[in-house]
Chains A and B, each alone.
Chain A
């Protein structure tokens, strides 16, 4: 019976079906285990233990993925914020470089300009677009600067330390610019040059100050050595001529005059230097200005008498008292009056007139001398200026007297001006404010 049933195709079919189902179940079960294994690996460690059946596992996985997605969103937002911040700082840095008072060009590693600020337009006469994206030989027209720049063209790493040259721009010869090239490196890698910073500075004022200082030293040295030279030469001459009375007298007179010349120069130099560095203390005192002027004039007159000069003092009956530094003001007036004598003609005239109005006292010191050429009139108050005019060359002088007088009068808030006609004479006009001298006194 059983055998019959076993051979029954239906039963056989059923048995096969059961077998297939069992096999499929086993296979599915294995697959499921694999799936579970995969999910476990995807889950974070702390949640692996919590996971029970596949449903729980899937739920954990979904929530974990959600968390990840949220974290990634947050990260993107942070990155965007950071990008915006970097862009802002970049713009700010560019704005700073743009308003920088000096011209800036930045070269990248290949020597191509990656940045140039507007300042270089006025300094070098080129636009930023002429420079950016180009190599130095494309935009730099000044040979001196170019010779410095091309040394590093194509290989900026050769520049190890800053280098500076001074030059005058091609179209502005009176200007002096300094160009400094400095290697750019990151703080983390100071030995690696990643670009070059080129800085253009206007150093005209410094260059002029240096030139003027050098000129001053050269002038002083020349003015001091000239009388010493004459003294040395005449002392040798005295040794050589022995007792010859004519040579002796003449040489001794020359030595005497030259000693005076060098001594006067030193006094003037000291005074002018003290005034210029502001190292002089002005002791203003309220004085009888009329008496003071008469005194200065009379003393000068004695000196001029030797030169057969006529003197005329023309003062009003009374003049207001003024608050001035008597010693300094005496130097100023002496210098103007001694010029009026020195640059006069034989038998000429020196006149001092004073006039008072509501606000000021005006002194006019006139001579009938050789006069000053129009082109020299602007320069006579400059330190060490001496004209090439033969009438000036033929007289001794070191070009400091009027400069010193002008400084002293300015210190008293006054003004010194000149009116002159070549061959006819010169008038120096000193104007002193009455209020300013009184105010200064009050301060």
Chain B
């Protein structure tokens, strides 16, 4: 069976390296981007099954990316998980209007993130 693809977007390399470790270990194919702008270029080449993104990033934030992604690739139903803190309510409110977007609160547990993705992909397979 083909590996599920996850795109990680964060300007913090230490976050990327840890999440990448756990995702690869769980059998996913991982691609990374350091901001929303770079991520849009990546999804054009290869559509991921799920996207895990930070919210505040230089050049293009996670919110701007999610909005742009949902409008440019309306046919895609990829899950978007946004890593954010509770105080960024403004971002949450705006991103919350988009479809299939979930929030993970910082500081976040990479293991819990992997469990959530696993469950999501299982549900996808059941419904398919």
Contact = CB atoms under 8 A, between A and B. Distances in A.
- Residue picked from B12, B59, B90, most chain A C-beta under 10 Å: B12
Given A218-B87, A232-B109, A254-B14, A237 B21 contact: yes
Interface in B1-44: 11-12, 14-15, 18-19, 21-22, 25, 34
B56 interface: yes
Interface stretch (A16-24, A222-230, A337-345, A350-358): A222-230
A325 interface: no
Interface in B40-97: 56, 58-59, 83, 85, 87-88, 90
A234 B59 CA distance: 26
A49 interface: no
A327 interface: no
Contact of A228 (B18, B106, B109): B106
Interface residues of B, number: 24
Contacts of B108: 229, 232-233
Contacts of A386: 58
B14 A234 contact: yes
Contacts of B18: 230, 233-234, 236-237
B116 interface: no
Interface residues of A, number: 23
The main secondary structure of chain A at its interface with chain B is helix
A234 B90 CA distance: 29
Contact of A225 (B58, B90, B106, B109): B106
Given A222-B56, A240-B22, A386-B58, A233 B15 contact: yes
Interface string B100-117: 000000111111000000
The main secondary structure of chain B at its interface with chain A is loop
Contacts of B34: 393
- Residue picked from B12, B18, B90, most chain A C-beta under 10 Å: B18
Nearest to A230: B14
- Residue picked from A218, A229, A234, A241, most chain B C-beta under 10 Å: A229
A214 B21 CA distance: 35
Contacts of A222: 56, 85, 87-88
B19 A233 contact: yes
Interface string A204-244: 00000000001001100110011011111110110011000
Nearest to A228: B107
A226 B12 contact: yes
A46 interface: no
Contact of A236 (B11, B59, B90, B109): B109
A388 B110 CA distance: 28
A218 B88 contact: yes
A230 B11 CA distance: 12
Contacts of B14: 230, 233-234, 254, 258
Contacts of A237: 18, 21-22, 110
Contacts of A254: 14
B34 to A, nearest CB: 8
A240 B22 CA distance: 9
A233 B85 contact: no
A278 B15 CA distance: 38
A120 to B, nearest CB: 32
B58 A226 contact: no
A173 to B, nearest CB: 19
A190 to B, nearest CB: 40
B85 A221 contact: yes
A248 to B, nearest CB: 13
B15 A230 contact: yes
Contact of B11 (A217, A225, A228, A393): A393
A237 B22 CA distance: 8
Interface in A174-198: none
A237 B111 CA distance: 9
Contacts of A228: 106-107
Interface in A240-256: 240-241, 254
Contacts of B11: 393
A393 B109 CA distance: 25
Given A222-B87, A230-B18, A234-B14, 19 more contacts: A217-B87, A218-B88, A221-B88, A225-B85, A225-B107, A230-B14, A230-B15, A232-B108, A232-B109, A233-B19, A236-B109, A237-B18, A237-B110, A240-B21, A240-B111, A241-B21, A258-B14, A388-B59, A393-B11
28 contacts: A214-B90, A217-B87, A221-B87, A222-B85, A222-B87, A222-B88, A225-B106, A225-B107, A226-B12, A228-B106, A229-B83, A230-B12, A230-B14, A231-B107, A232-B107, A233-B14, A234-B18, A236-B22, A236-B109, A236-B111, A237-B18, A237-B21, A237-B22, A240-B21, A240-B22, A240-B111, A388-B59, A393-B34
Interface of A: 214, 217-218, 221-222, 225-226, 228-234, 236-237, 240-241, 254, 258, 386, 388, 393
